Structure 1
Amino acid sequence: MKKFLHLIVLLVFVCGSLPVQAQRSYERFFTAVARDDVATVRQLHQRGFDLNSPDPELTPPLVLALQRDALAVARYLVLQPEVDVEAVNAAGENALMMAALRDHLPLVEQLLARRAQVNRPGWAPLHYAATNKGDHALAITRLLLEAHAYIDAESPNGTTPLMMAARYGREEVVRLLLEEGADPTLRNRLGLTAIDFAQQVSRQSVIDMIAAAIRARRPRGQW
């Protein structure tokens, strides 16, 4: 219902039927988010602006701030109790997923403190953390696992976090996932394993690491 009401407000705005002052506030707000202008965001909030209002592309302000690396605004928004931390953009991405992907460790911590959902159907925050190549990728992945993220979560096509890490992420994240019990033998809907993902980009050290984990899972005498 909340998303529906936001959509109605947005359509009214686009059609030019909102009062001029409301239109200006809307424009000022999203300009401020893009510029990481937390002072203006705070001012508009104090005047009653709805911090859950989506932008014209239906992206929630918190998700947008994280996408734009507008960290001052993101920190302000995540501390406001009325902000819906589960709101998603048109691609189905929420704030925890975006913070994990963009390497924003303190905001991942704050979102977890807000009880953001770690597990969800389809793409999950752990997939995004596994894809992250930033300096905090390992710490973020570990935090999500400590918060009981399902380690073999499947995307809509069956891709797991280990597969994503094998192709896109850091080697230490691959290692952590294997040490914590990720299944290296799983295949996605295309029949690809984590080793296949690593082979696509010629990551030999990752291939060797996953192969060793597969051998360790098998009885002696088998590859």
Structure 2
Amino acid sequence: MKNVMKIQVRCLAIICVMAISLTSCLEKSESKETTAISKNEIAEPSIDIHSAVLTGNLEAVKQHIEAGTDINQKEAMSASTPLMSAATFNKPEIANVLINANADLSVKNNDGGTALHTAAFFGRIEIVQLLIDAKADKTVRNNFGATPREIVMVDFDQMKPIYEMLIQQLQPMGFTLDLNELQKARPVVAMMLQ
């Protein structure tokens, strides 16, 4: 029971840091001039890759990939990658494009969580399956000693206030999370991660 409580407290801390960092990512997004040095070069889009993911701009993400943008680049606050943001904001098409572009599935954020930890936590069944199919490591532990499966094994009622807080903080950025659907998804994700 003590371990479960420790994991819950740590999850809350992780999520708070993640919420703050994702908010700052959008606030700091600055428009870049699109320039091409030669006709053969593909120009980066005017929106940075993290903002493109958060806003669901699939075409901009594809353009970043074609232009050679580092798709594993971490945002400054929590060190989340575009793939982690795609999992957080439930962008399965973008997650699939990033995975197919060879995004590194083992990259960890500041809390030691991978994209699979993030997708599992938010009950993103489709993205969890994409990551499993791509051979993401289901046994990796974050800095608090939890695997992606252990994150969803914590009692939902104890985690509900954390999810409610995240909805409130991230909703202005387009974040949606249906708590009833999440409650149903968590046991499914736990089974997928066995």
The TM-score, its normalising length taken from structure 1, stands at 0.51
Instruction: Give, in whole Å, the separation in 2 of the partners of 1:191 and 1:85.
Output: 38
1:160 is aligned, of 108, 114, 123, to 114
* Matched position secondary structure for 1:61: coil
Aligned length in residues: 134
* Deviation string, structure 1 residues 162-215 (Cα, Å, up to 9, x no partner): 11111226321111111211122221111222123334456443433343442x
Q: Larger relative CO (CA 8 A, sep 6+): 1 or 2? A: 2
2:73 is aligned, of 120, 125, 136, to 120
Instruction: Give, in whole Å, the separation in 2 of the partners of 1:124 and 1:170.
Output: 17
Contact 1:184 1:210 in 2 (8 A): no
Q: Identity rate of aligned residues, in percent? A: 25
Asked if 1:196 is matched to 2:150, the reply is: yes
Measured after TM superposition, the shift of residue 85 of structure 1 is: 5.6
* Matched position secondary structure for 2:28: coil
Measured after TM superposition, the shift of residue 149 of structure 1 is: 0.4
Within 5 Å, give how 1:4-43 maps onto structure 2.
none
Structure 1 residues without counterparts, runs of 5 or longer: 1-57, 63-76, 87-93, 215-223
Worse overlay, 139-148 or 110-119: 110-119
* Matched position secondary structure for 1:117: coil
Mark the CA change 1:205 to 1:195 in structure 2 (over 3 Å): closer, same or farther. Answer: same
Mark the CA change 1:187 to 1:81 in structure 2 (over 3 Å): closer, same or farther. Answer: same
The TM-score, its normalising length taken from structure 2, stands at 0.57
In the alignment, what sits opposite 2:11? none
Asked if 1:59 is matched to 2:13, the reply is: no
Q: CA RMSD in A?
A: 3.1
Within 5 Å, give how 1:102-117 maps onto structure 2.
102-117=55-70
In the alignment, what sits opposite 2:86? 129
